[in-house]
Amino acid sequence: MTTKIIHFKVNGKLETAEFGSDVSAADVKDLFRAAAEAEPHHILKMYNREGTVVKISPRLEANSRESYYRLEVVASDLQGVATASDLDNMEHRLHHLESRVLQDVGTTPDIMSELKSHVESFRRKLESVEHLSWIGLFKDDGDQHLAKSPPKPRTPQLNVQEERQQVRRKFLNISSLQVTEEVRELLKTPIFDNWQWEEAEMLVLLQVMFTNLDFLTAFHIELEVLQNFLFEVYCHYNNIPFHNFQHCFCVTQMMYGLIWLTDLRNKLGRTDLFIMLTSALCHDLDHPGYNNVYQINAQTDLALRYNDISPLENHHCAVAFGILAKPECNILKNLSSEQYKHIRGGMIKCILATDMAQHNEILNRFRSIQSAFDFSNKEHKEVLMKIMVKVSDISNEARPMAVAAPWLDCLLQEFFNQSDREKQKGLPVSPFMDRDKVSKPSSQTSFIRFVLLPLFSELSKLFPCLEQHILEPVGRALEYYSVMEKASRDEEATTKP
Ligand SMILES: [Zn+2]
């Protein structure tokens, strides 16, 4: 058995952890949780020297003292604020100050009464959460560093329903945590790594996005209704290789990032931003894992219902409004009927625009208005919103290679599933989905050349800052896959007789 040593900094101190190759994932998590003195419901992440999040797992790469990781509690209760004992201290000092002022002045100044009432209300707030976070966590022997929650037994094949309820419980349990500024900032960039976050945590991050864009205040959304809505959205994504909840999260997060990078908050109205973010969130709801061509060729129920016209996108949108039809999930319920109509219309347009069959038409329209783009022109705005949703939808290659690469495998897996089924049913097979014909690099180079680059560069003309954030990474991905493509061609040439 080999052991590895991990150097990491936590709470300003450099520490080391040592574990063997046979250690369980739960034990590793518990080890670092104890080191960070974090509570079980807090969210813990490890950062490498580049500031990217790395997975806390037995496969964590060993490092040197100089290249230590940084362990952070990225979401916790009442962050950066005092504990009850600090508060005792504060109250004591305040009391002392008050009696001195009383001696000098004879009365308690207003500002002091105000300060006292702040401290008092803060204490109530602290006490109301503190009892929750300490229940059964630490052994009461003062040796809190060593106390660990017992490793969770691996749950055997939970049924989907039970698994979802677990995610819901966890989501609600951690939804009130304060997410660190660092994570909030990371969330606004295309380098955010979705693979390091669990589903319940992603739901919290989605809640952060809605909150940070002031949607709750602007549209009078109750937090509980938003949480129900987000959870229902999560439930309506299927467990398939690519078009799953992770994809939904990535697209929404990219949209969120684009909104900040392009400073759209100062260029479009709050309603337009809401339409874009919510459309991104809902744009693939209940995706069955087989594309429109399959739906139409196999004459599925969806193709019949929507007369072969964007069957999937029509379905995603219909499912979205089905969720919103439930009062407990209806984040639009406090809007006027005018506002509702406007948002519904906008979401329908944005979600239907994600059908790649519309790609050239939408891109050409955007090209034609680009040079004279006017943010106050209704039609211009509509095209831009569609483009933003489209860009977010196919933005994986704008992410760091380590994040993007697994997505390509997921996509190919879903394609292969489809072509296998098409072969089995005697339906036409798209060559780019055929496991016998497609090669990873060649499929990527043409997709990047003919779809991504033209689309991304057009958007970057309107927002030059995007060059660095999405255009350049896509260029690097093209270079990477071109080299790979050439290598595999050369190899083919030498192995062929
Ligand atoms: Zn999508």
Ligand 1 centroid to residue 354 C-alpha, Å: 7
Question: How far apart are alpha carbons 256 and 57 in whole angstroms?
Answer: 29
- Looking at the structure, tell me whether residues 388 and 422 fall in a common domain: yes
pLDDT bin (cut points 50, 70, 90) of residue 29 is confident
Q: With left for phi above 0 and alpha for psi between -120 and 50, is residue 426 left, alpha or beta?
A: left
Question: How far apart are alpha carbons 366 and 383 in whole angstroms?
Answer: 6
Question: How far apart are alpha carbons 393 and 475 in whole angstroms?
Answer: 18
Angle, CA of 15, 16 and 18, to the nearest 5°: 155
What is the pLDDT, as a whole number, of residue 129?
42
| Mean pLDDT score of the chain | 88
pLDDT bin (cut points 50, 70, 90) of residue 51 is confident
140 or 306, which is more confident: 306
Name the nearest CA neighbour of 203 among 43, 313, 67, 333.
43
CATH code at 266? 1.10.1300.10
User: What tokens appear for 271 in the block?
Assistant: 């309603």
Name the nearest CA neighbour of 384 among 406, 354, 358, 362.
362
- Looking at the structure, tell me whether residues 57 and 90 fall in a common domain: no
Phi, psi angle pair for 5, to nearest 5°: -115, 130
For the cut 50, the answer to whether the pLDDT of residue 152 exceeds it is no
- Residue 22 CB neighbours (<10 A): 10
pLDDT digits (tens, 9 = 90+) for 244-269: 999 999 999 999 999 999 999 999 99
- Catalytic residue positions, numbered: 243
Calculate the alpha carbon distances from 415 to 86, 242, 243, 280, 411 in Å.
Answer: 57, 9, 11, 22, 6
Name the nearest CA neighbour of 233 among 269, 183, 285.
285
3-state SS, 429-477, equals: CCHHHCCCCCCHHHHHHHHHHHHHHHHHHHHHHHCCCHHHHHHHHHHHH
Ligand 1 centroid to residue 407 C-alpha, Å: 12
* Residue-number span of the structural domain to which 115 is assigned: 84-134
Name the nearest CA neighbour of 350 among 324, 377, 373, 316.
316
Phi, psi angle pair for 234, to nearest 5°: -55, -45
What is the pLDDT, as a whole number, of residue 132?
34
What is the pLDDT, as a whole number, of residue 156?
55
Ligand 1 centroid to residue 215 C-alpha, Å: 23
Last residue of one domain, picked from the residues 76, 93, 114? 76
Least confident of 7-16, 110-119, 337-346, 436-445: 110-119
- Looking at the structure, tell me whether residues 110 and 203 fall in a common domain: no
Q: Residues 210-237: what's their mean pLDDT?
A: 98
What is the pLDDT, as a whole number, of residue 177?
92
- Looking at the structure, tell me whether residues 241 and 330 fall in a common domain: yes
Ligand 1 centroid to residue 342 C-alpha, Å: 23
Name the nearest CA neighbour of 453 among 418, 482, 478.
478
Name the nearest CA neighbour of 384 among 258, 285, 278, 206.
258
336 or 135, which is more confident: 336
- Looking at the structure, tell me whether residues 114 and 185 fall in a common domain: no
User: What tokens appear for 135 in the block?
Assistant: 């229940």
Q: How many domains does the chain have?
A: 3
- Looking at the structure, tell me whether residues 56 and 176 fall in a common domain: no
For the cut 80, the answer to whether the pLDDT of residue 184 exceeds it is yes
- Looking at the structure, tell me whether residues 186 and 92 fall in a common domain: no
Ligand 1 centroid to residue 385 C-alpha, Å: 15
What is the pLDDT, as a whole number, of residue 141?
33
What is the pLDDT, as a whole number, of residue 55?
87
Question: How far apart are alpha carbons 262 and 466 in whole angstroms?
Answer: 7
Report yes or no on 324 lying in a domain. Answer: yes
353 or 52, which is more confident: 353
- Looking at the structure, tell me whether residues 95 and 171 fall in a common domain: no
Question: How far apart are alpha carbons 434 and 462 in whole angstroms?
Answer: 37
What is the pLDDT, as a whole number, of residue 151?
42
- Looking at the structure, tell me whether residues 108 and 63 fall in a common domain: no
For the cut 70, the answer to whether the pLDDT of residue 450 exceeds it is yes
Per the document, the length of the chain is 497
AA identity, residue 357? A
- The pTM (predicted TM-score) of the whole model is 0.79
Report yes or no on 155 lying in a domain. Answer: no
